[in-house]
Amino acid sequence: MYEGQDPQEQQATAVCHQEGWFITGTDTEIGKTFVACALLHALRRSGLSALAMKPVAAGFDEQGRNDDVERLLAASSLQAPKALINPYGFQAAVAPHIAAEEEGRRIELSRILASHAQLQAMADVVLVEGVGGFCVPLGSTHDTGDLASALGLPLILVVGMRLGCINHALLTQQAIAARGLVLAGWVANRIDPEMSRFAENLAALQMRLAAPLLGVVEHATTPEQAALTLRLPAQARRT
């Protein structure tokens, strides 16, 4: 950091050479896309150009649109071809390996890596959002964890704050560590506004997750509002 920089400039300096982060979660439907969009807005506020890709998405409407992909496209600060943002899209809203088998297709990590490399040439930071949790199968021989490992990016874990989240978060942390990957930070997303003992659960997670809490996303906020409460992780690399 340089003396006299304002906080946003300092934050931009901290991540200016960061390729990006892999966004994973404790489960499906816990707000990965929401947090990714919030991070895109935060990066934009820091003066960085940012894109997000959803390598694998399932569940498309009759117009060929997927809600997660469309939200990431809208929140990105640059326009990029949808084929790069979402290399694999499947019509049925089911587990991706099942959807791929039904359509007679195979999810190739090499194709995703090639798309990611092209996006990296376009923006300062590229976020990659996984599908479901960290170990969702992408085929008979590989899963989302293998994709994160192949990309070599530090991870941000989105914890859906509800009953059972501590166990899910700790198991995900173990799976990330077993792949030799870096957990750069985590976000507490209040998907259940009526969660009993929220503060106690949050404290338990802070004690046990070996990564900084990047922020708490309150229920019924927008990504733009959440961006004001999230902090970007410090630069992190896989060792």
What would the pLDDT profile of 84-129 be if each residue is shown by its tens digit? 999 999 999 999 999 999 999 999 999 999 999 999 999 999 999 9
Give the number of residues written for the chain: 239
What is the rounded distance in angstroms from the CA atom of residue 72 to the CA atom of residue 77? 10
Taking the C-alpha atoms of residue 83 and residue 202, their distance in angstroms, rounded to an integer, is 38
DSSP H/E element including 184? strand 183-189
Catalytic residue among 32, 41, 54, 71: 54
Residues 6+ positions from 193 with CB-CB distance below 8 Å = 219, 220
Evaluate if residue 239 carries a pLDDT over 50: no
3-class secondary-structure state, position 229: coil
Q: Where is pLDDT greater, at 235 or 174?
A: 174
- Tell me the average pLDDT of the chain: 91
DSSP string covering 212-224 = -EEEEEPTT--HH
pLDDT exceeds cutoff 90 at 178: yes
Question: Which residues are CB-neighbours of 121 under 8 A, at least 6 positions away?
Answer: none
Residues 137 and 56: beta-carbon distance below 8 Å: no
pLDDT of residue 235: 58
Long-range contacts of 116-121 (CB under 8 A, 24+ apart): 116/53, 116/55, 116/151, 118/84, 119/51, 119/53, 119/80, 119/84, 119/85, 120/19, 120/20
**Contact status, residue 163 vs residue 196, Cβ threshold 8 Å:** yes
**H or E segment at 128?**
strand 125-129
pLDDT at 238: 38
pLDDT (0 to 100) of residue 19: 80
This prediction's pTM: 0.90
Average pLDDT over residues 144-171: 97
Q: Note if 54 is an active site residue.
A: yes
CA pair distance 182, 135, nearest whole angstrom: 16
DSSP state of 97: H
Within 10 A of 44 (CB to CB), how many other CB atoms are there? 17
What's the rounded mean pLDDT across residues 133-151? 97
Q: How far is CA 74 from the centre of its chain?
A: 16
Cβ of 54: how many Cβ atoms within 10 Å? 26
pLDDT tens digits, 38-79: 999 999 999 999 999 999 999 999 899 999 999 999 999 999
